[in-house]
Chains A and B, each alone.
Chain A
């Protein structure tokens, strides 16, 4: 009796398992109002940044010295600043800056922290001690102050701010990855892989790193909330994005002088920063619940 192709059961609907997992996580996140808020805000941020040219009503750099310090109106949703620029449009374009910062910091900090942490944790010995000393030195600083020092050293600019923030954000990730690695290192399946002749690199990359990924992702998300605040703080102090870039923190700094009579200069950028930071915090908390192995059975 020949076996036909149609007799074989269908293995999958064609979606790779990682996408299915992602979809499940998203569904879980959307169920709770707080983490749903986080997802929605982040989604909005990405959309606004992507379609900034379409959403913004004016050119963010266009000055209109006749219409300075106008309150919010139909023409200017969020009013105009001291140079007559439309605040709404500046805010919209500023979302690109915020997103850039978040994105770049993540892709620097995530891999760097994981590499340092997993290697140190797996190899142990001298390598571990040296790497952890370095991490400790960075950790012995509040991140804002260290970022400040780095930016001052490199020169105030948006790129340098990103580098500076990244330099202070990787140590906690490294520590986390190391802690996870050290627990995983004892596992039997690692011993089995070693017996099979797998090299350390292969073990780290294929067996250990993927297991650390959930906690690292959660910590990264939560850290992004702080990164946003640090970046805004740097901008506020004039050490981040330089004028006329519409960075939210810098907007607050320049708007400060006119704040008493023109509240809109300062209020809207601040709300933007607060909302995004809040969203990351809620998202991170939600992810923590979603990826908690104890909760997995409930889904």
Chain B
């Protein structure tokens, strides 16, 4: 009985924490939006508008009200799902974002698969061979991934692998030729092209996905490798590993059958967090690869000073991050028997 009570209490405090963070997030985005130097009224009515039009729109946008009232109005809008209209595209911002998001998610998902697929085995290898040459090589390898300016590497990779070697596709999500050929049903090109029965488009999409995803994956693998190595080292020193050896298991078996199981949950947490930070890399990579995703959308809005759009973008990113943190926390709780 007491256990259930405690759990409810901790759940309640967690929910309050999240709500408070969200509120703070909204305050932050509001402040950022209001600070922007571009004049939103001017952007809406244009340079030649008359004074009356200007004042009318000024009033419409509520910019003449006190700041806290504007904030409440903003809160109200958010709760009802009204994120305003983009000055640049004229569409509702949320619609624009939902349109751009799948491209980034597709990229990020592939990237994390590469990042984890590379990072975890390398981390294990580094831990098992601590301080010997495989460890050093792996550390240098992942260090480069961590230190490289990803937009620069992207540019160079494009030149080498696309312009010179022709191994992969160029910028964009697919060959120019195929644009418009496939209906946008999920927004995920790989799925949509298969649904439409266009294998050529599918392969073109894969071709274009592979380089940016590999680069993003490489940069996130640095973090994943380091954390995996650290987790693994912790386990390698544990007594239960000796027990397993005494039972007659080989070193490799003890690592994969015993130690790895103990770090699985922590790895999932790490990968979830790494996924979130891929959004950062995505912003830069999308610019280099002309990838029509969320990152590009954000950058364009920043340059044109589209207040509504920027605020919402920042909000979305914050929410995604909070959600990922929550998810990894949940996964940790569910899968570690010790916390039951």
Contact = CB atoms under 8 A, between A and B. Distances in A.
Interface of A: 133-134, 136-137, 140-146, 148-155, 225, 229, 232-233, 236-239, 249, 252, 256, 259-260, 263, 266-267, 269-270, 273-274, 277-278, 281-282
A234 B315 CA distance: 20
Nearest to B324: A140
A237 B286 CA distance: 11
Given A142-B317, A232-B149, A281-B146, A149 B284 contact: no
B152 A266 contact: yes
B322 A236 contact: no
Chain A interface secondary structure, helix, strand, loop or mixed?
helix
Contacts of B151: 232-233, 236, 252
Given A237-B287, A252-B151, A141 B321 contact: yes
Contacts of B148: 274, 277
Given A149-B314, A152-B305, A133 B321 contact: no
A274 B153 CA distance: 10
B15 interface: no
Nearest to B28: A137
Nearest to A34: B140
Interface of B: 17, 20-21, 24-25, 28-29, 31-33, 35-37, 143-144, 146-153, 155-156, 159, 163, 276-277, 279-280, 283-284, 287, 298-299, 302-303, 305, 310, 313-314, 317-318, 321-322, 325
Chain B interface secondary structure, helix, strand, loop or mixed?
helix
Give the 3 A-B residue pairs with the shortest CB-CB distance, closest first: A153-B35, A270-B152, A137-B24
B318 A281 contact: no
Given A134-B24, A249-B149, A274-B149, 13 more contacts: A137-B21, A140-B21, A142-B317, A144-B280, A145-B280, A149-B302, A152-B32, A153-B32, A232-B149, A233-B149, A236-B151, A237-B299, A277-B149
A200 B305 CA distance: 46
A297 B155 CA distance: 47
Contacts of A151: 302
Contact of A152 (B31, B280, B310, B321): B310
Contact of B280 (A143, A266, A273): A143
A148 B309 CA distance: 13
A149 B310 CA distance: 7
A152 B306 CA distance: 10
Contact of B149 (A155, A229, A281, A282): A229
B119 to A, nearest CB: 16
A144 B310 contact: no
